[in-house]
Structure formats: C-alpha cells, structure tokens
Structure 1
Amino acid sequence: MASTRGLNRAAILAIAVAAILQLTAAQTTHTVGDALGWLVPPGGAVTYTVWAELQTFTVGDILVFNFGDGDQDVAKVTKEAFKTCNSTDPISLKTKSPANFTLDTIGEYYFIGTKDEHCKLGQKLAINVTSYPGPSPSPAPKGPSTYTVGEALGWFVPPGGSFFYETWAYDKSFKVGDTLVFNFINGTQDVAVVTESVYKNCTKNNTIAIYTTSPANITLETAGEHFFTTTYDRHCKLGQKLAINVTGSSTTSPPPSSPSSPSTFGPSAGGPAAPPISSAPSRFFHGCFFTSLLIAITFFHY
C-alpha cells in the first residue's frame, strides 16, 4: 500500500513538473522598446504604440522596462489614469531598472512614466493580453474579417516610410470577402486602388478607383494581388502605399460590395503568381522594422 501511495505521489509530482515546464516554455519576455528602452521617445507616444503592435502578448509573459535609475520610473495604472497621465494613485510603481511586470490575466494593461511631463511627452504604453499559453484550439469557421489599415495610426504618410504598411500586412491572411478600412483626415488624404505598375512607380495615371471620404471601406472581391496608394503629391513616394495578397475565400459565398462604393478589382486569374513585396517579409525584416522606424522618427523630428 505504501508503495502504491509513493507511486501516486511520484505521478502527481511528475504531472505538476510537466505543467510548470509547459508554462515556462510558453512564457515570453518582452523588452519594452527593445534597444531604445523606456524613456521619453523622440517620436512621441506613437513609438511605443508601434512597438506594441508588433508583439503578441500571452498570459504568463513578462514585460521588462529598462531605464536610467533616478531619471525614469514606470507605473502600472488604470485606463483613465493612462488617458489623462495621472500618476497620483498608481496600481504599482517601480523605480529600479530593470522593472519586470508579469502579465497574469487576459485584458488591457497600462503603463506610464511619472517623472515631470514624461507621460504627456509620450512615455506611455498600452497593451492587450488576448490568450493563455499552450496549444490553441482549432479555430471555428468564421465569416469575412475586417482589417483597419495601420490600426490606430490609420492611413497617412508614415515617418518610417513604406516599411510601416509592409510590416502591418506581413502577418495578415487576407481572404476574398474580407474588408479593408482606411481611416484618414478628409481633404488631406485619399485611397487609390491601382495596378502593380502604378504602385511600383507611384504614378497617378490608370487608377482603378479613388476613395476620398473616410472611412473608406474596400471589399476584397477577387483573389490575387491588390495595390493601394494615394493621389496626393509625393505621398506614395514617401511610403503611403500598401500591397497585399488575397488567397481563397473567407465564406462559401462572399458578400457583394455595397452599391454605393466603387468596385475594387484585383489581377486576373492569369496574372503574376508571385506575392507582392508586403505579403510575406521575413521575420528578420519584421524585427528590424522597429529600429528603422525609430531612426526615421528621430530624423523626422530633429
């Protein structure tokens, strides 16, 4: 009997150790700002917004804030405190570097710097933890997806050049029936659906459709390559351009386009099969983007 109890205890211990090892293996450490660290960013709050867009946060992951002791600190705060840069009653405050925060629940997390006007100058970070570690369940069938181009930053001339929209598109799986939403300021931007030649050369001739009112909703009606630029002077050459590759269908019967919107066309079935530049850049390229963007932002502001 004692031998049986010993074996049971050993089995339970083995299961517990295996579970711990699984969680440990799934844990990811995210260094906020990568090599830039945690400081007042030269490009304002957009710097940490872009950094967060390039991460996938999971329960159990760790955020590491690197900064100069005495010059910086980091406070975990509520959403309202984040919006107003109110540091009077933080959830947690750390003044020694490196400052580590474990993401222990699904949901939104907010961090700011409390020194002087640092938060108002852009030293603030908002992230969203969306899943638990471990194998993901098989996805349930779903209908068409809606993608907001550039996420919260929208459709504009990006300070990092065309790398910005290439990086935004790289991990997306666009299907027939999906919708692209372009958000911009009316009168300062537009969206042109163009051919590959117009996209590459940033010319204005032979545009397929032009959308001048925001938000511009464009349904992807055909498989293949789709190209988007703008008709505003020099905007395309400065990086306001997007190329995506649409494969398959998100539904059995893709929904028809709104009759009030211009039609969006992709290449014919006999067109080139190679994916556009933005459809699958390497992970090395993706990792280098943030550093490139920071250099561009610094040059842009100084």
Structure 2
Amino acid sequence: MTTKIRAALVVVALAALLHTAVVVAQTTHVVGDSLGLGWLVPPGGPIAYATWADTQTFVVGDILVFNFTTGEQDVARVSKEAFDSCNSTNPISLKTTGPANFTLDTVGNYYFIGTMDRHCPLGQKLAIKVIDSSAGPSPPPSPRSPVIYTVGDILGWVVPPLGEVAYSTWAYNKIFIVGDSLVFNFINGTQDVAVVTKEAYDSCNTSSTIAVYTTSPTTITLTTTGMHYFTSTYERHCGLGQKLAINIIAKSTTPSPSGAATPPSSSVDASPGAGGPTAPPPSSSAPSRIVAGAIVLLSIAVAFLH
C-alpha cells in the first residue's frame, strides 16, 4: 500500500471521528425536566418555562423534547406574533403525539405553544434562542444576592378576592434562587402556611403536608432548586385560591452586601423541595477535546498527503 493511499485512509478515518465527535457534542433538552414539569400548563404561569430556558444553552444541532400525554397536550412551533398573542391558527408546525422532538437546525429565536383550550394563555409557552455552536455558550447571567420576598406584598397571605390568579400574578415576574426567603404575613389563628407536594397542591388535599407553620410572620428560606408549593390547611382556603407555586433556580455566588436585610426572628429553613429535581451537572468537556484532537490530526494527515 502506497504512502498516499495510507494517508488518504487516515483522512477518511479522522473525518469519520470528527463527525462522531460533533454528534456526541449535541445536547438533548427535555423541556421542563429540571422543574419536574414535562410539557403541560405550569402551575406558576409562563415564568416556569422562561426560567427553565434561562438555565439552558441551545446551539444548532441540539434537540428539544416535549414530554406529554397524547390527547391531553400538543405542541406547536409558531411565529413571535403568534406566541405573543397565543394565536395557534397558522403554526409553523404542530405535533400531537408525545413525546415530540424538534431539531434546532438554525440560529435564532424559536417559539412554542400549546394549542389546546386556554393552555397558552395559562402559561404553556416557551421561547428560546439558538446560537451557533462555534460561538460558544452565552455568558451566564450576572449573579445577585439573596432577596427577601413578602408573599402577596400588601395583600399578605389570605384567601385572595380574585382566586389563585392573585398569587400566580404576584410570582409571575420574579426570579427565585436558592438562598432567597419568602415571608408570609397573616393574622395568627386565622391562617397558616403549609408546604406541600404538587399532588397535594393540585388537589387541595392537606391531610399530609411536608411542613405547617402557624405563627406570623413566617419566613421560609429556599434551600433547594425546583418547584415548591404552598397553601393553607384551613378549610376551603386552598380551593378558594390561597395557594402559591414557585420555581427556584440555582444558587447565586455573589456574597450578600453588608447592609442586606435579615429575616425576622421566626425564620425557618423548611427545605420544601427536598428530594426534588436538582440542577444538572456541568457538561463534560470530552466532546470538545475530541473535536480539537481530530482537527489537529486531520490537518497533519492532509499535509502529509500533499
């Protein structure tokens, strides 16, 4: 076998290795996985999927997976205008069988909604931005110090006059991180705060709770990532809308400023999301090393061929 033939075979083999490395480097994103959601109407409104998307980096070639029960949900890729108005009359594509996969084959913004009755207005919508893999990941958002949130602000923790939309609206534009605190203000003897599972939250069954707090103000420090659920054990309070669902994302590394406010003395560390989903580990750098090595060897082989 001549030297040029051997070199040509090396080029072919290394090209195959490079192709394999690129395939390995692709990422499959399961929508809502770190929140324990899947693809459904989220309890906290559209902020749930917006928050999930903020924790991901999407590059060309990645795959987006929507897990849902066929017949109960669907997913449509739509334009920005249709996304903003929840108009599903002319989608770019529509998939009705779960799980549904979308390959992210171009850079730019992608928009997805559920087309079933009121699902999109209730928060079943996802917007993502896809970048070129050669551009590298976007810089992470600037970290911040922990924040103390007063649930409902001036409304406090009560049976809201407008039903559960009051607390979902309150939580809508807020980003919760590990280390933040929730303060529940109520009149002792008329309310309480129960930390519950998603099943108990959905059914308003408070016969089994993770924790119950009866003294106001109650301050709960958020110590784990994922969805956290709160309601009241008082009769019919949950059914009338005294319930709150929020998503907690990864911890900030910025130290608290010296002038930061401290929680009230009744502060408790409830760890309401214990046992729930945690942030995924950092991606391995092995694929990038394979690509780099393959490129170097391919260059050497080509030079040798000539």
TM-score, length of structure 1 as denominator length: 0.48
Could you say which structure has the larger radius of gyration?
Answer: 2
Name which structure has the greater RCO, CA cutoff 8 Å, separation 6+. Answer: 2
